[in-house]
Amino acid sequence: MAKSAKNQDDTRIIRIFDTTLRDGEQAPGNSMNIEEKLRVARQLQKLNVDVIEAGFPIASEGDFEAVKKVAQTIKGPQIAGLCRSNDKDIDRAWEALKYAGDKGRIHTFIATSDIHMKYKLKMEPGRVLETAIKAVKRAASYTPNVEFSCEDAARTRLPFLAEMVEAVIAAGATTVNIPDTVGYTVPFEYFNMIKYLKDNVPNIEKAVISVHCHNDLGLSVANSIAAVQAGAGQVECTINGIGERAGNCSLEEFVMILRTRHDILPYATNIATDQLTPASRLLTSITGISVQPNKAIVGANAFAHESGIHQHGMLMDKSTYEIMTPESVGLQASSLVLGKHSGRHAFKKRLEELGHDLDDDMLNRAFERFKALADLKKEVFDEDLEAIVTDESREEDRYKLEHITVTSGSFAVATATVQLEISGKPAKTAELGDGPVDAAFKAIRKLTKTKAVLTQYNVGSITGGTDAQGEVTVRVEEGGYTVVGKGSSTDIIVASAKAFIHALNRLHHKQKRLSDAV
């Protein structure tokens, strides 16, 4: 297999391996159910990523089914499943991946740094090497599309790393990943590491060198660029840079760096960049994890200009303060003004432009919500539509908010009366609280009998104006599980109740999936 492809003008094509559904989902609060994973996978298909890592099949029955469903459904990208270097993991991975045929990729790994071998694996280097070779050979017995990762490669002794890479390529690995698992390295060091392998592994040209960088020191994108300059042909990344701890290399940032600085970086990707913003927004709507306003490429302020000097320059020529166009990343002003007189066709078309492909039942529910909201607002914005889709795209909920009434004031104790539907049965109670939100949450706690701890509460406005919807994001924790809930309404107390109930439902589903897997 060639180390990388080239197009006609001799630009080297860098493969994009998206691990949003695996590494990205592992971060606290980012867990997704099968249908949510499929929605993200369909958007990744629109993005035209080269590889989708759909999950860790042996981790749970839910993860196995998600990888299997993605392998059965998604056309175009290769579908990868992660597995440790043992027979049971590899067999289970292929059981899910086989539905993708020759586009199924077994991705197996073992740690190679001294610190991991000594304290985590408790294995000598020679045994680690033997284990890796055996794992790759077993994976290659199922498919020639095998990727091997040297976990914690950035802290691995270079001679041993080179020995490992040579051995797994000889065993059948066609992609070898050199990850900075803990976000420890810096660009020049990482460049030299990749170059060392290029210079010291005799069969290195028989495999694609991949890199997987974490952002613990804020250098994941810079390190990935350095690795590509040294000869890497694949970059592993996630939408919005989500992932373990400080996250992964941000797909949108890496891709747009190559596109914007092609003058000094003669590399390109196959990514449809106009799908970057829809992908970012879809992921945010599913996970409830908002992108910070100053986030590069997809942040709310990425193309906003407030300074008078900047505004003047933009009026004269946009290139004065914009190095890329909003349209190039899919940030387009809507040509349709949606309001109470808008029809279903215009509504559906705008949702499709935003990256949402809803089935008829979900579309009907979302349209009803849209018409109800349009009666309260003069104009419905894209952000309002995202909030509606978020509410209507959830799993079958155990808890549903039926009614909420809150009274409060400067000289009155806040009181909340809440009625829920719990597993199809109505339940109602009233509680006092230190403010209307506290009273509402106490009533919900009483009805659901939850012991979940609220660790974060954020409130914001989805759009401008006094008729704007409020958006509330909460993070709750119980029994070692952390989830994020999101709710929106023109009434901020209702939005708060929705967010808390959403979190409790996600917690219930997560606990249920894990208990079913035991």
Query: Annotated binding site, which residues?
Result: 23, 212, 214, 248
DSSP string of 435-471, one letter each residue = SHHHHHHHHHHHHHT---EEEEEEEEESSSSTTPPEE
Give the number of C-alpha atoms closer than 13 A to the C-alpha of residue 242, restricted to the C-beta side: 28
CA-to-CA distance for 228 and 218, rounded, in angstroms? 18
CA-to-CA distance for 192 and 229, rounded, in angstroms? 10
Name 106's bridge partners.
Answer: 81, 146
CA–CA distance from 85 to each of 78, 314, 478 (Å)? 21, 54, 32
User: What three-state secondary structure class fits 497?
Assistant: helix
Closest CA to 28 of 343, 455, 492, 397: 455
CB distance 414 to 432 below 8 Å? yes
The label of the residue with tokens 């040297």 reads: 150
Q: Which residues contact 52 (CB under 8 A, 6 or more apart)?
A: 18, 21, 41, 44, 45, 70, 74, 77, 78, 79, 80
Is 453 exposed, middle or buried (CB count within 10 Å of its CB: 0-12, 13-18, 19+)? exposed
Phi and psi based region of residue 446 (left: phi greater than 0; alpha: psi -120 to 50; beta: remaining) = alpha
State both tokens at 130. Answer: 């033997």
The label of the residue with tokens 């040209």 reads: 205
CA–CA distance from 186 to each of 32, 177, 213 (Å)? 32, 17, 10
What residue numbers does the annotated binding site for Mn(2+) cover? Answer: 23, 212, 214, 248
